Amino acid sequence: MKVALITGITGQDGSYLAELLLEKGYMVHGIKRRSSLFNTDRIDHLYQDPHHPKQRLKLHYGDLTDSMNLTRIIEECQPDEIYNLGAMSHVKVSFDTPEYVGNVDGLGTLRILEAVRLLGLEKKTRIYQASTSELYGGLAENKNERGFYDENSPFYPRSPYGVAKIYGFWITKNYREAYNMFACNGILFNHESPRRGETFVTRKITRATARIALGLQDKVYLGNLDAKRDWGHAKDYVRMMWMILQADKAEDWVIATGKTTTVREFVRMSFAEVGVELEFKGKGVDEKALVKKCNNPEYQIEIGKEVLSVDPSYFRPTEVDLLIGDPTKAKEKLGWVPDYDLKDLVEDMMRSDIKLMKKDQYLKNGGYTTLNYFE
Ligand code: NAP
Ligand code: F7E
């Protein structure tokens, strides 16, 4: 049985990847941080009974800042594959905690690679490093002749997060070249899902749209509505992480959809899912979105209601204005075909958040339910 170790298993990608690897028959080890509240919501459905003899998921307490702990866990698991997904992954927050981000997202990668090397596992263990489109920084002049970022585009990170991840990228490549390790970077563009953290823009929008439609919230405050991102579905992207480690040769890969969309358009698409048409008025910090039409009798939203304003506190000291990736190499060499487009992604997220918020509303109104009532 193949053995995998996932750092960041409690996160969005870690949870989908654990599902995928368990389906493929792997024994899956995951590193979780100690926290004062339960932090395994995203994987609880995979982890019913830790004492069951056939349980193929095992969690270990650990942290990417702790080399000894990482080395011990890797020695215990003897993994065939390590997926290093653990990170402080919020770009805006990285401006508030730059040293911590350097330690976790940058040096954390080194700690994994060095542990594998010191344990003499460099021939056995393949390593996936969660690199990011934030490495490119959105500089227009660095796109290829077709107008995309690809594996050969220069990097120009624009946040402490991006700078820390660039260390992770290069140290992975360096260990591959210096020690002949099977260590690969997946340069992933933004990917989202119903499990996306609540403070990333897509999830913030789908949650707020659902709550506004149900009358639980008046409006949402966002930052830069002009920012453009290449958004895919996390399920498609974790499949590609696995494919990268099954390839014949260790290489770096761009994973993206090849399309880019503004934050404003994502808002429009989310409201359209509940039958609400929006009208955007004003410019810059004065921009607002108002309800123009509501075609869904289930959601009685007043016409003309202001549902979105700009709050400059969400602006970043340095912004990445536009990202668009070229996944040609992944498609041609590994045969990667995504199942979801942006419309499918918005539908999936809205369906899930409407269900979640209906449950919230029901409980708030004094209803009693079992966990699966709204499934
Ligand atoms: P996420 O939902 O924020 O999950 C991050 C995971 O890392 C969580 O399990 C978190 O644990 C864990 N973690 C944070 N600090 C840690 C530490 N000091 N030690 C050990 N674990 C730690 O992120 P994601 O969206 O799944 O992304 C997965 C990886 O891909 C990250 O490295 C991210 O930077 C990178 N990436 C993401 C995207 C994207 O669009 N999603 C794109 C490119 C690259 P807790 O649950 O305890 O917080
Ligand atoms: O912002 C703008 C914001 O925080 C997207 C991480 O997974 O993808 C993610 O980083 C855009 C930015 O993601 C709000 O200014 C407007 O331009 O959802 P985000 P991100 O910064 O692109 C990359 C690839 C990663 O690697 C990261 O780990 O949306 N925006 N208004 C806002 N963003 C947030 N969060 N909140 C707002 O209110």
Measured CA to CA, the distance from residue 21 to residue 3 in angstroms comes to 9
Residue 80 lies in a domain: yes
Q: Work out how many domains the chain is built from and give that number.
A: 2
Phi, psi of 110 (to 5 degrees): -60, -40
Residue 175 lies in a domain: yes
Residue 257 lies in a domain: no
Which residues form ligand 2's pocket by a CB distance below 6 Å? 89, 91-92, 132-134, 189-190, 199-201, 204, 222-224, 227, 229, 263, 314, 316, 319-320
Entry pTM: 0.97
Residue 316 lies in a domain: yes
Kind plus residue range of the DSSP H or E element containing 161: helix 160-179
In this prediction, residue 362 carries a pLDDT of 82
User: Are 223 and 345 part of one and the same domain?
Assistant: yes
Digit-by-digit pLDDT tens for the chain (375 residues) are: 999 999 999 999 999 999 999 999 999 999 999 999 999 999 999 987 777 777 899 999 999 999 999 999 999 999 999 999 999 999 999 999 999 999 999 999 999 999 999 999 999 999 999 999 999 999 999 999 999 999 999 999 999 999 999 999 999 999 999 999 999 999 999 999 999 999 999 999 999 999 999 999 999 999 999 999 999 999 999 999 999 999 999 999 999 999 999 999 999 999 999 999 999 999 999 999 999 999 999 987 999 999 999 999 999 999 999 999 999 999 999 999 999 999 999 999 999 999 999 998 888 777 655 444 444
CATH classification of the domain holding 210 = 3.90.25.10
Q: Which residue, 228, 235, 250, 249, is CA-closest to 325?
A: 228
User: Are 42 and 141 part of one and the same domain?
Assistant: yes
CA of 205 to the centre of ligand 1 (A): 20
CATH classification of the domain holding 125 = 3.40.50.720
Kind plus residue range of the DSSP H or E element containing 318: none
Residue 179 lies in a domain: yes
In this prediction, residue 50 carries a pLDDT of 75
CA 278 to centroid of chain Cα atoms = 27
User: What is the number of H-type helices and E-type strands within the chain?
Assistant: 11, 15
Reduced to 3 states, what is the DSSP secondary structure of residue 185?
Answer: strand
In this prediction, residue 371 carries a pLDDT of 45
Residue 217 lies in a domain: yes
Phi, psi of 233 (to 5 degrees): -100, 130
Measured CA to CA, the distance from residue 268 to residue 272 in angstroms comes to 6
Reduced to 3 states, what is the DSSP secondary structure of residue 209?
Answer: helix
CA of 283 to the centre of ligand 1 (A): 34
In this prediction, residue 300 carries a pLDDT of 78
User: Are 209 and 176 part of one and the same domain?
Assistant: no
Domain boundary among 141, 166, 188: 188
Domain of residue 290: give its range: 201-227+263-321+341-364
241 with 185: CB under 8 angstroms? no
155 is written with which tokens?
């990097």
User: Are 130 and 215 part of one and the same domain?
Assistant: no
User: Are 176 and 305 part of one and the same domain?
Assistant: no
User: Are 157 and 54 part of one and the same domain?
Assistant: yes
User: Residue for token digits 């368990």?
Assistant: 22
Residue 20 lies in a domain: yes
161 is catalytic: yes
Task: Choose the catalytic residue: 26, 83, 128, 161.
Answer: 161
CA of 200 to the centre of ligand 2 (A): 5
Pocket test for ligand 1, best of 46, 85, 163, 204 (most atoms within 8 A of CB): 85
CA 320 to centroid of chain Cα atoms = 17
Q: Which residue, 335, 142, 177, is CA-closest to 251?
A: 177
User: Are 21 and 150 part of one and the same domain?
Assistant: yes
Residue-level length of the chain: 375
User: Are 7 and 136 part of one and the same domain?
Assistant: yes
User: Are 101 and 147 part of one and the same domain?
Assistant: yes
191 with 233: CB under 8 angstroms? yes
Phi, psi of 353 (to 5 degrees): -75, -30
User: Residue for token digits 């003899």?
Assistant: 53
